[in-house]
Structure 1
Amino acid sequence: MELLAERRWVTDGGLETDLIFHHGVDLPEFAAFPLVEDEGGRALLTDYYEAYAAIAARAGAGLLLESPTWRANPDWGARLGYDAADLDRVNRAAVALMHERREAHPELEVLVGGIVGPRGDGYVAGDRLDPAAYAEHHRPQLASVRAADADLATALTLTGADEAMGIVAAARDVGIPVAIGFTVETDGRLPDGTALAQAVATVDAAGGPDWYLVNCAHPSHVAPALEGDGPWHRVAGLRPNASRASHAELDQAEELDDGDPEQLSRDCQDLAGRLPGLRVLGGCCGTDARHVAALWGV
């Protein structure tokens, strides 16, 4: 966690759900990265990230700007007609946009991150590969964000330790710091059934990332994962969902469940007491700047 130092960092909320439900943006395959290549899309993204810069300023915290590239990997990109050269271009452009936002806020300490998402569905474990195959899959995207001078990469919504190990190996290959974000079901276990503590221990035994985070789950789902002893000092980030609904229920939902920002903040405060290394705080599905402001008490 050397990159994070001892300070705390604001990061953003549920980009895709915010754009879809609050701005009426059509995001095929839940992919926001094509917006980077459109003037109107870039304007939307700029406004989106500006809200979180304002929260960081009010909170007296650092700002972790993470690119809108959760779906910008080979398998998901192919569904949208993006080949390898297209994905390299758009990943670099997305990180460049984050650098532009950093330059717009010299008053803030800012880190630029490149977001990596799962090869498959972030809510379903699905068919599994071995870590070497996952490394091969994710290496091109990690190389692109590294070439664009991102300070770090963050993998969000991972469903198993195997993919996490592959991402860490690929990140080490290309020379970029990396954070691993696991999601959990309502019982606190990863979608493949692994306990969070076991997943962290497994990935750490294979070398491990710079830090971990938990994302895309309500605090009431994360709480069971943190019961008892565990490597909780390794968890430096928390990006909760607004809704208490399960992943299966959210997949079927046609309306946004944005919960209660103030209650979400109280629930996260309870979790924070179990996470001595917590440095990064933002949101995930269903959250927006209101929720993140509430999490920071500003």
Structure 2
Amino acid sequence: MTKSKIHTLPHQTDQKFVTDAGFETSMLFHKGYDMPHFAFFPMLRSVDGRAAMKEYIAPFMETARQHGAGFILDTNTWRSSPDWLDLLGYDKGDHVEINREAVAFAQELRREFGEGENVVVNGVIGPRGDGYDPSTIMTASDAEDYHAFQVGVFADNGVDMVSALTMTNTPEAIGIARAAGERGLPCAISFTLETDGHLPTGETLGHAIAEVDASCFHKPAYYMINCAHPDHFTGILQQRGEWVNRIQGLRCNASRMSHAELDCCEELDDGNPGELAQQYSEITRFLPRLNVFGGCCGTDHRHVAKICDALHAD
């Protein structure tokens, strides 16, 4: 599919980019949507679900516009890989169409809310297993084979890039990066970290980034951290090293809770938006190439707006 306009990607420019925030937690706790296995994409097949998505995304895109920032518009596909689609009861014949519909809807949102702006349609890939617990780890080769399906649908339908969010281990990240490279798609790898700043496997972030880079002919365009609070990893960034230059994005949790604690929460912990924004501002001192800013669990437009204000004030 031919794209009508070339959009500048985060690794190609110093422009700041905004993402959305904790979409699933917002829909679950603020809007009361039932989301089996934390998957919202089935609601995109309903009028109400599409309206909720538009209502949610519009203020983020307006914030990006007001701050002269680009916007990374994610497809709602974090839970749209084959194993999760099977678990949610979808036939194999529906898998391609579900992912294709998500890309088409993101492109519709870009046309409706992002006219004249640098809005990047980003194909989102989630972990094959649990986003917090790497109880089963594939080989890099198996991960490439598994995730090639979703990457292929994204490539065939004109996304600008792909991002793997909430990665818990390096072999899966390597497989996704390789699959994206085979299809010529720029790829961002976003690792999740525990309260000690390490991956759930116990691996250090610096080692994980170095291992993925060394294992891929087409290296990821950049790396991110998501689904962790700044308190959990700011200390490791201060250790410095070449690997910090590969990190360009942050999508932090509002809560300081561990992943295990978040899994058990019955009420949303939305933290302190102003405090979180100040922490983002301070982290820019340790990450010289940081230019992608958004949120994860517990965050919403309030947090991202405060983050943009804090960065603009610097």
TM-score (norm 2): 0.92
TM-aligned CA deviation for residue 227 of structure 1: 3.1
Distance between the aligned counterparts of 1:61 and 1:2, measured in 2?
A: 11
SS of structure 2 residue aligned to 1:124: coil
Give the aligned partner of residue 254 of structure 1: 266
Given the alignment, which residue of 233, 237, 242 partners 2:254? 242
1:141-181 per-position Cα deviation (integer Å, ceiling 9, x unaligned): 11111111000000000001111000011111222111000
Give the aligned partner of residue 229 of structure 1: 240
1:77-105 per-position Cα deviation (integer Å, ceiling 9, x unaligned): 11101233322111111111111111122
SS of structure 2 residue aligned to 1:100: helix
Give the aligned partner of residue 14 of structure 1: 22
Distance between the aligned counterparts of 1:85 and 1:52, measured in 2?
A: 34
CA 136–83 in structure 1, closer or farther in 2 if over 3 Å, else same: farther
Q: Contact 1:36–1:42 (CA<8 Å) still a contact in 2?
A: yes
Distance between the aligned counterparts of 1:45 and 1:24, measured in 2?
A: 13
Q: 1:53 aligned to 2:64?
A: no
SS of structure 2 residue aligned to 1:112: strand
AA matched with 2:226: N
Distance between the aligned counterparts of 2:250 and 2:40, measured in 1?
A: 21
Aligned runs of 1:154-173 on 2, under 5 Å?
154-173=163-182
Give the aligned partner of residue 45 of structure 2: 37
Given the alignment, which residue of 209, 217, 220 partners 2:228? 217
Give the aligned partner of residue 64 of structure 1: 72
SS of structure 2 residue aligned to 1:81: coil
Q: Contact 2:240–2:286 (CA<8 Å) still a contact in 1?
A: no
AA matched with 1:285: C
Runs of 4+ in 1 over 3 A off after TM superposition: 1-4
Given the alignment, which residue of 107, 116, 131 partners 1:122? 131
Give the aligned partner of residue 5 of structure 2: none
SS of structure 2 residue aligned to 1:179: strand
Identity percentage over the alignment?
44
TM-score (norm 1): 0.97
Aligned runs of 1:139-154 on 2, under 5 Å?
139-154=148-163
SS of structure 1 residue aligned to 2:56: helix
CA 4–44 in structure 1, closer or farther in 2 if over 3 Å, else same: farther
Distance between the aligned counterparts of 1:14 and 1:20, measured in 2?
A: 10
Distance between the aligned counterparts of 2:59 and 2:33, measured in 1?
A: 18
Distance between the aligned counterparts of 1:7 and 1:238, measured in 2?
A: 15
Q: 1:108 aligned to 2:117?
A: yes
Distance between the aligned counterparts of 2:304 and 2:225, measured in 1?
A: 15
Distance between the aligned counterparts of 1:90 and 1:274, measured in 2?
A: 40
Distance between the aligned counterparts of 2:180 and 2:92, measured in 1?
A: 18
TM-aligned CA deviation for residue 40 of structure 1: 1.2
Give the aligned CA root-mean-square deviation in angstroms.
1.3
Give the aligned partner of residue 3 of structure 2: none
CA 222–83 in structure 1, closer or farther in 2 if over 3 Å, else same: farther
Q: Report which stretch shifted further, 224-233 or 148-157.
A: 224-233
Aligned runs of 1:64-103 on 2, under 5 Å?
64-103=72-111
Distance between the aligned counterparts of 2:130 and 2:77, measured in 1?
A: 15
SS of structure 2 residue aligned to 1:297: helix
Give the aligned partner of residue 186 of structure 1: 195
Q: Report which stretch shifted further, 122-131 or 256-265.
A: 122-131
TM-aligned CA deviation for residue 209 of structure 1: 0.6
CA 85–3 in structure 1, closer or farther in 2 if over 3 Å, else same: farther
AA matched with 2:159: A
SS of structure 2 residue aligned to 1:296: helix
TM-aligned CA deviation for residue 68 of structure 1: 1.2
